Structure 1
Amino acid sequence: MNIHHLEYFLEVIRQGSFSKAASTLYITQPSISKMIQNLEDELGVVLINRNVKPLELTDAGQAIVEQAQQIVTLVQNLTVKLDDVIQLKKGKIRLGVPPIAASSILPPILGEFKKNYSNIELQLVEYGSKKVELGVYDGTLDIGIVCTTPTKTDTFEFLSFIEDPLKVIIHPEHPLANNKQIDFADLRDESFVLYREDFSLYDHIHNRCKLAGFQPKIICETSQREFMTQMVAANLGVALLPGKICDQFDPKTIVSIPFNDPQILLQLSIIWHKDRYLSFAARQWLQFVSKLLSAA
């Protein structure tokens, strides 16, 4: 057994599929299948139930997955520490970002960072907040940006830097288009273009609709802001977006209306794992962004 057996095993569980894990790891599916089989043969147990989709852990798999993650994390920490010494404080940052941050707030910050730290490589992965949090937790991401306060505050350090109330966006010919403010109950009969389920805002919007006494009628789930706005501009449904984004729309095409209190706030936070070693590159990024946000 070597560390790659455990890394591949954890990636298969994370992706729920041998083929998806192989694609993520840039190896062939037969190779990853063989590695998992070798691990099972060495341990003398079946770790993964291959007869269901997505794949499931067996009892034996459940028993070792946490230990496997701890071993992989220890090896990753050792590798990063050595990299700091060997590479003379050059490095790479694996940064998980939700599309809302990636498309509006983050690019200027990343541009400024790159001017000051040209030897540090930034690897961005676009996920919903739930998957970003999971990636920071299991070590596949160094740092993440999420659209809410992290759920495991005993596990993560975090820096909150934006609070922006969501607005509903609708077509100019919609019956509610002339409202100055809107209640969630007013959207009872509307078709929603909603964020995907791996987004924390998906849960917040569902909960607010539930409090208003209805389940949202969802016609589409997406991670792409542009697709959301196109659906609304075609008068196919309504969507919820942060106020700063809504202020950019041409009211002849899309109308944005604020909610009455209580509002849903988009709260962007930078998160990192409390107990995982942070590379020089990751520490520099956090310090740089912290100073940039304080100045702003």
Structure 2
Amino acid sequence: MDLNLNIKHLEYFLTVAQAGSINKAAQALYISQPYLGKLITDLENDLGTVLMQRTRSGIILTPDGERFLSGAEAVVREARKLRTSFSQPALSPAPLIVSCTKWSHIMDSFIHVVQSHGHEPAFSHQLKEGSTEEVIDDVFSGQANVGVIHFDSRKSGEVKENLAAKGLAYHFISQVVPHIILSGRHPLIRDGKPVTLENLAPYGLVRYTGQYEDFSFQINCGSSYYNLNRSPKIVYLSDRASLLHLISESDFYSIGIHDFSGQRALYDLISVPVEGCSFMLEFGYLLPAGTAVNPVTEEFLSEVEKRLTSL
């Protein structure tokens, strides 16, 4: 047995065990799946035993894996205590308090920033998702120090005027083409038919509860007008995970934007541009006018801009 372990390897093993999947753990750790898979395999070879069974749906710990998990947790816990005991006392950094509309791209940006500060001895960051109106209210009332919203690009002037009247500064990020979100196993995909709003008319629409994103569901495509609010089959959901899971497991569809990180791997969902759409979705962020932005908020906004402008 030639053990060449370090604390980072143990932390990686714990992340895989907690995620139940090497793929999901690799995404959470921001490393490649092959690299993480090889690390686990090397660990098993060093120990001379199998720690986890690989299946199509993820991993299952073996009895030896369960024993190793218990020991690894204890070692990592003590190592963190040791690091903390030798760390110089420091004040908690200024918090990142975000209010945003429900987009995985924004959530992924928040997660990335939080993970990049995981080494710090203390912090308190928050993210709240809601409607555009709720985000505006959160920033206006001081419950959030930054808000990220989206709206019909044709309403940009009106939105800016309303925000200025509330003493809020608006900063443009990008304009994005609306996309149809559906399962890679959807009948239209399976039968090789065009993914258009016309062809999707018989199928169910899934959307978030709330009245503030209605514009996304009233779409002009060339000479055709589609009011998806009048679709015969509509399911209203309040959270993103439920919406994505329903689309993944059914022939329902929704309106969104280009793929987010892990969309295909985790949910087998694809995004198809709405052909001939007459408007764009505009994204921007809000700040109280004249307010300085703390460093971690700057990092978050930079990450959001990078993700949204690359679509």
- TM-score normalised to structure 2 length: 0.51
Match of 1:23 in 2: none
CA distance in 2, matches of 1:174, 1:159: 38
1:96 maps to 99
Residues 246, 292 of structure 1: alpha-carbon distance in 2 compared, 3 angstrom cutoff: closer
Deviations along 1:147-183, one digit per CA (max 9) or x if unpaired, are 3477235343324157364223146252465457533
CA apart distance, 1:142: 1.7
Instruction: Identify the residue that residue 144 of structure 2 maps to in structure 1.
Output: 141
Find the residue that maps to 2:103 and give its secondary structure. helix
Where does residue 205 of structure 2 map in the other structure?
192
Partner residue of 1:288 out of 299, 302, 305: 299
- By how many angstroms is 1:143 displaced? 0.9
Structure 1: gaps of 5 or more residues: 1-86
Provide the aligned length of Structure 1 versus Structure 2: 204
After TM superposition, give the deviation of residue 117 of structure 1 in Å: 7.3
Deviation at 1:197, TM superposition (A): 1.6
- 2:175 is the alignment partner of 1:172: no
Residue 112 (structure 2) pairs with residue 108 (structure 1): yes
1:108 shift after superposition: 0.9
CA distance in 1, matches of 2:92, 2:266: 49
Task: Name the CA distance, whole Å, in 1 between partners of 2:198 and 2:255.
Answer: 14
**Cα distance change of structure 1 residues 96 and 293 upon mapping to structure 2, 3 Å threshold:** closer
Superposition pairs of residues 27-176 of structure 1, within 5 angstroms: 90-101=93-104, 102-112=106-116, 114=117, 121-148=124-151, 151=159, 152-154=162-164, 155-160=168-173, 163=176, 165-170=178-183, 172-175=185-188
- Cα distance in structure 1, aligned partners of 2:94 and 2:267: 47
Contact residue 204 and residue 253 of structure 2 kept, 8 A = yes
Q: Is the 8 A contact 2:220 2:278 kept in 1?
A: no
Q: Residues of 1 paired with 2:186 and 2:302: CA distance? A: 45
TM-score with structure 1 length normalisation?
0.53
| CA contact 2:97–2:144 (8 Å) conserved in 1 | yes
Q: Does 1:211 align with 2:225?
A: yes
Taking a change above 3 Å as real, the CA distance of residues 105 and 222 of structure 1, as seen in their structure-2 partners, is: farther
1:105–1:295: structure 2 CA closer, same or farther, 3 Å change rule?
closer
Matched, 1:233 2:248: yes
Separation in structure 2 between the aligned mates of residue 232 and residue 258 of structure 1, nearest angstrom: 17
SS at match of 1:121: coil
Residue 146 of structure 1 aligns with an amino acid whose one-letter code is I
Contact 2:173–2:305 (CA under 8 A) maintained in structure 1: no
CA distance in 2, matches of 1:252, 1:284: 34
List runs of 5+ in structure 2 lacking aligned partners.
Answer: 1-89
Cα RMSD (Å) of the superposition? 4.0
For residue 94 of structure 1, report the CA deviation from its aligned partner: 2.7
How far apart, in 2, do the equivalents of 1:165 and 1:218 lie?
A: 21
SS state of the match for residue 128, structure 2? strand
Instruction: Pick one of 279, 284, 288 that aligns with 1:269.
Output: 284
Does the 8 Å CA contact 1:169/1:241 hold for their aligned counterparts?
Answer: no
Q: Could you tell me how far apart the structure 2 residues matched to 1:111 and 1:188 are?
A: 42
Cα deviation code 1:104-163 (max 9, x no counterpart): 333113333x36976653222222333112211233222112234772353433241573
Question: Per-residue displacement from partner, 1:233-285 (whole Å, max 9, x unpaired)?
Answer: 3325222333223973269955543321227655442211226x45xxx4323
Closer, same or farther in 2 for the Cα pair 1:286/1:216, shift >3 Å? same
Counterpart secondary structure, 1:145:
strand
Q: Which runs of 4+ in 1 moved over 6 A?
A: 293-296
Deviations 1:164-211 (A, max 9, x none): 6422314625246545753333333332111222553x4312355993
- The answer to whether the 8 Å contact 1:159/1:271 transfers is no
Specify whether residues 106 and 290 from structure 1 end up closer, same or farther in structure 2 by C-alpha distance, changes over 3 A only: closer
Work out the percentage of aligned pairs sharing the same amino acid: 10
